[in-house]
Amino acid sequence: MSDIRYSLSQNEMPEAWYNLPADLPEPMAPPLHPGTREPVKLEDMTAIFPENIVMQEMSSERYIPIPEEVRDIYALWRPTPLLRAVRLEKALQTPAKIFYKYEGVSPAGSHKPNSAVAQAYYNREAGIKRLVTETGAGQWGSALSMACKLFGIECVVYMVKVSFTQKPYRKLVMQTWGGTVYASPSELTEFGRKVLADDPDCPGSLGIAISEAIEDTVKTPGTKYALGSVLNHVCLHQTVIGQESIKQMEKAGCDPDIIIGCVGGGSNFAGMVSPWLERKLKGGKQYRVIAVEPSSCPTLTKGELRYDFGDTAMMTPLMMMYTLGHDFIPPSIHAGGLRYHGMASLVSQMYKLGMVEARSYGQLKIFESAVQFARTEGLIPAPEPSHAIAAAIDEAVAAREEGKEKVILFNLCGHGLLDMTAYDAFLGGKLTDEA
Ligand SMILES: *Cc1c(COP(=O)(O)O)cnc(C)c1O
C-alpha cells in the first residue's frame, strides 16, 4: 500500500500561533483612523473589538500561545490531515508530487473555525455577551455561530443577500448552531435602509454587510464585532494550518518547491504560508509561494496598493492594501467566491516585498479543475480552494513539460458539499467567464 495520508496525533497540534509581522523585513504600514488619518490607537479599535484582540492585532511577538480552552475545541477536528493526490498525479501524467492540507474536516467544513473559536474565546474572556458579523457565502457566519454557541455568546450575522437566497443551507447551518441571520442590505440599520432606498434589488456585497454589522455593533450595548479574514489576528489564528503542514511534509519526507493557496481576504493563504515563509526568511529553502484569485475579483493582480476602507460605508480604519476600491462589487455571474475588494495588509506586504507571487484564473477553469479533482481524489472541493487546485494542476503540468520532479503543496481550505448551486451552474453549462 502506498502512503497517501500523513496524520498527526492530538499532542502534535501547535501550542502557539506564529506571527509573521515579527519577522517581516519591512514592517507593514499602520492602519489609519478614518477621520483624523492618524495611525489608529488602541482606544479607537476597542469601540468594535475587545482589548485582548486589539493587542493581538497590534502584536509584534513572534509566537503567541494558544489558550488551553481553544486547543480543547480545536481537538474536535485538529490536527487536520495532509494527503498526497496520487490519482490526480497519475491523471496528469506528471512526475510532480502533489500534496494538500485538508481543512474541510472542521465542523463548518472550512478553515474558518480556526479563528472563530479563538475570537469567541477572547470575547468571552472580555465579558462580551453578543458578537455581530457579516458573511458572504456563509462559511464565516457558520463558523462563528458554532464558536459562539460553544462559549455561550449570542451571534448575529448579516449575510450578503444573493447568498442568503442562493445558499439556504448555510443559513440553516447557522440557525442550527443558534445564530440569528439577516439578509444584507437589511431594514435593520440606517446604512442598509439607505442602500435599499437607492436600489431595492441590491444583491448586497461583503462591504455593505460589514458596514451593517459595524453599525449594529456600535449602536448595541454589550456587543462587539468579529471579522473572519483580512486582519492580522485572523491570519495569525490560521497559522496552525501551515505549522501542521510542515510537520506532515517532514513525515512524508518531502520539502515542497511550490506552496499554493487561494486568496479572498487572505487568511487561509497567510495561515498556510506564514510558517513556511519564516523558514524562507531565515535562510531556508527559497520556496515559490503562489496566491491565486478569481479574474473577476483580481485584487492582487489588478488592484492598487494604497490606503482604502475595509467596508463600503467607509466606517472602518483605512488599511494599506491591494484594493479594487471599497465600492467594488464583483459581476453577478461570478460563482467562485473570494469576492472581497481588498487584501489583508499582511498578504499585501508579502506580495509587495516579492515574498510571494500572485495569479488569477477565470471561473470555467476553476470548476474544470474542481471536477477533475473530485473525479480523481473523490473529495468535492469548495470553489475557493479550487483556485489553488487549478494552480497546482498547472504547475504539475509544467513539471511534466520540463521533466522535473517538483513537490507541490496546496491548501484545500474547505469542501464544496454546500456549494452545489455553483456546481449545478457549471455542470449545466450555464457558467461563463467574464468578458
Ligand atoms: C472564507 C473562505 C475563503 C476566503 O477567505 P480567506 O480569508 O482568503 O481565506 C476561502 N475558502 C473558503 C473555503 C472559505 O470559507
Do residues 269 and 318 both lie within one domain? yes
Do residues 221 and 367 both lie within one domain? no
- DSSP code at position 153: -
Last residue of a domain, one of 184, 209, 232: 232
Do residues 303 and 166 both lie within one domain? no
Last residue of a domain, one of 232, 247, 265: 232
Q: Give me the mean pLDDT over the 118-129 stretch.
A: 98
Any domain includes 360: yes
Do residues 323 and 258 both lie within one domain? yes
Task: Judge whether residue 332 has pLDDT over 80.
Answer: no
Q: CA–CA separation, 315 vs 307, rounded Å?
A: 14
For 47-58, how does the pLDDT look when each residue is reduced to its tens digit (9 = 90+)?
Answer: 999 999 999 999
Do residues 249 and 355 both lie within one domain? yes
Burial, 197: exposed, middle or buried (Cβ in 10 Å; 0-12, 13-18, 19+)?
exposed
Do residues 202 and 219 both lie within one domain? yes
- DSSP bridge pairs for 82: 6, 101
Last residue of a domain, one of 232, 257, 274: 232
Do residues 304 and 405 both lie within one domain? yes
Q: Give me the mean pLDDT over the 210-232 stretch.
A: 95
Taking the complete model, does pTM exceed 0.95, yes or no?
A: yes
3-class DSSP state of 97? strand
Domain CATH for 279: 3.40.50.1100
Any domain includes 72: no
Please tell me the residue having the least CA distance from ligand 1 atom 11: 384
Do residues 245 and 181 both lie within one domain? no
Task: Judge whether residue 304 has pLDDT over 90.
Answer: yes
- Does 310 or 76 have the greater pLDDT score? 76
Q: CA–CA separation, 12 vs 78, rounded Å?
A: 10
Do residues 105 and 131 both lie within one domain? no
Residue 341 alpha carbon to ligand 1 centre in Å: 14
Do residues 133 and 226 both lie within one domain? yes
pLDDT of residue 311: 85
Residue 276 alpha carbon to ligand 1 centre in Å: 19
Do residues 220 and 253 both lie within one domain? no
For 282-291, how does the pLDDT look when each residue is reduced to its tens digit (9 = 90+)?
Answer: 999 999 999 9
Residue to probe by mutation, ligand 1, list 239, 413, 417, most atoms within 8 Å of CB: 413
Do residues 371 and 322 both lie within one domain? yes
Ligand 1: which atom is nearest the Cα of residue 413? 13
Any domain includes 95: yes
What's the chain's average pLDDT? 96
Residue 61 alpha carbon to ligand 1 centre in Å: 25
Any domain includes 434: no
pLDDT of residue 335: 77
For 141-185, how does the pLDDT look when each residue is reduced to its tens digit (9 = 90+)?
Answer: 999 999 999 999 999 999 999 889 988 899 999 999 999 999 999
pLDDT of residue 90: 98
pLDDT of residue 435: 67
Q: What's the number of CA atoms in the CB half-sphere (13 Å) around residue 253? A: 2
Task: Judge whether residue 107 has pLDDT over 90.
Answer: yes
Burial, 362: exposed, middle or buried (Cβ in 10 Å; 0-12, 13-18, 19+)?
middle
At residue 357, what is the residue type?
E
Q: Give me the mean pLDDT over the 405-409 stretch.
A: 98
Any domain includes 381: yes
Worst-scoring range by mean pLDDT, 13-22, 210-219, 242-251, 333-342?
333-342
Task: Judge whether residue 303 has pLDDT over 80.
Answer: yes
**Residue 194 to residues 133, 208, 344: CA-CA distances in angstroms?**
19, 11, 28
Ligand 1: which atom is nearest the Cα of residue 263? 8
For 359-386, how does the pLDDT look when each residue is reduced to its tens digit (9 = 90+)?
Answer: 999 999 999 999 999 999 999 999 999 9
Residue 89 alpha carbon to ligand 1 centre in Å: 25
Any domain includes 28: yes
For the chain, what is the domain count? 2
Residues with CB under 6 A from ligand 1: 110, 112, 139-140, 229, 262-269, 338, 382, 384-385, 413-414
End-to-end CA separation in angstroms for the chain: 47
pLDDT of residue 408: 98
Any domain includes 73: no
Please tell me the residue having the least CA distance from ligand 1 atom 4: 264
Question: Which residues span the domain enclosing 174?
Answer: 18-65+112-232
